[in-house]
Amino acid sequence: MRIKIVGTGRAVPALCLTSRGLDERLGLGQGQIEAATGVIERYVCETESQVDLACTAARLALADAGIEPDAVDLIIGGCGVPYQPLPSTAPLVMQRLGLADGSAAAFDVNSTCLGFLTAFETAARMIEAGQSETALVFSAEIASRALPWKEQPEIAALFGDGAAAAVLRRAAPSEGKVLANLMRTYPSAYEACSIGAGGTRFDFHHQPEEFSRHAIFHMDGKELFRVTARHFNGFVGQLLQRAGWRHDEVDLVVPHQASPFALAHMARQTGFAAQKLVDISALYGNQIAASIPFALDIARRQGRVMQGTKVLFLGTSAGVSFGGMALEA
């Protein structure tokens, strides 16, 4: 697909919460949270909403692209957790950006931590099919909600809030292209990473205790590690084969920022040199679906993504799914 990223942007809330601050709040020894997670600090919403973060990131992406909001004819939200169950988040972002009724299509997709890649591919295929000229893709997360601080503080402390967005357009032959997309799902680990409440599984009116008990994020790290260790390296090989790239041809890897330890393990498992990975997890935590586009924006603004750069996006998500995209910028 001949697709070009013409602009990116990112946003975080005002409050930066350090791991030392969490140690004090939780009554733990100094340095305990950072030692357990590898995360030094993360940003946490107090007054900001998920839509506030999304719109800030979107405006920065549009400014980076040199495009006014009314040029956008497609908005796709790829958030792991929505602003509300119904309707989707993208129409509200469209409204807040000042787009007129009927001037664009706006909807969400959900593949949890892989949401940005799914939204990107959906937008790219719609552009390729002539259904859109300028697409805005965003992921915004308030990951700090519903975390298991009592049961699993070392898991809760991995997460941070944030948002990122990208503007996509059709590329000229000498510009960008997507060479491959791939997703594979391993539902044997469906329960390994979940928030059970919020959909139709538990009826709040008839099962309030069950609803409340399942409204907290749960993660089985050992099960996730088992699936990843067994299958992820082969998945990366399949993606590279589809792209027609050799392993050493990849210039930059933009991974989901699961945790500093997870990224170090991924580098060892896949054989990519650490300097090829964009690793921001120690300073921002795991921002769910916003992690990948957030890291992309940082890499672009650092000058690590230039015309012709071979970028490999990689990630894992609840489900459990692996996802990736090979992009020549």
3-state DSSP: the chain helix, strand, coil percent, rounded to 5?
A: 40, 25, 35
- Strands 74-77 and 134-141: what pairing? parallel
Contact between 14 and 48 (Cβ < 8 Å): yes
DSSP alpha helix (H) spans, the chain: 19-26, 32-37, 50-65, 90-96, 115-128, 153-156, 208-213, 221-243, 260-270, 281-284, 291-301
d(CA 187, CA 208): 27
SS3 153: helix
Q: Is the pLDDT of residue 174 over 90?
A: no
Q: What are 50-91's pLDDT values in tens digits?
A: 999 999 999 999 999 999 999 999 999 999 999 999 999 999
Query: 181, 193, 214, 286: which one is catalytic?
Result: 286
Active site annotation includes 55: no
Query: 113, 181, 193, 214: which one is catalytic?
Result: 113
Q: What is the pLDDT of residue 88?
A: 98
Q: What are 110-133's pLDDT values in tens digits?
A: 999 999 999 999 999 999 999 999
What are the C-alpha distances in Å from 272 to residues 130, 276, 312?
A: 36, 7, 11
Return the CA Rg of the chain: 19
Active site annotation includes 113: yes
Enumerate domains of the chain plus CATH numbers.
3-170 (3.40.47.10), 177-328 (3.40.47.10)
- DSSP strands (E only) in 142-176: 162-170
Q: What are 175-200's pLDDT values in tens digits?
A: 889 999 999 999 999 999 999 999 99
Q: What is the pLDDT of residue 195?
A: 93
Which residues have a Cβ under 8 Å from the Cβ of 289 and sit 6 or more positions away? Answer: 78, 79, 80, 111, 112, 113, 114, 115, 116, 139, 141
Confidence class of residue 173 from pLDDT cuts 50, 70 and 90? confident
Which residues have a Cβ under 8 Å from the Cβ of 216 and sit 6 or more positions away? Answer: 146, 147, 148, 151, 195
Contact between 138 and 167 (Cβ < 8 Å): no
Confidence class of residue 292 from pLDDT cuts 50, 70 and 90? very high
Average pLDDT, the chain: 97
Q: Is the pLDDT of residue 221 over 90?
A: no
Q: What are 295-324's pLDDT values in tens digits?
A: 999 999 999 999 999 999 999 999 999 999
Active site annotation includes 16: no
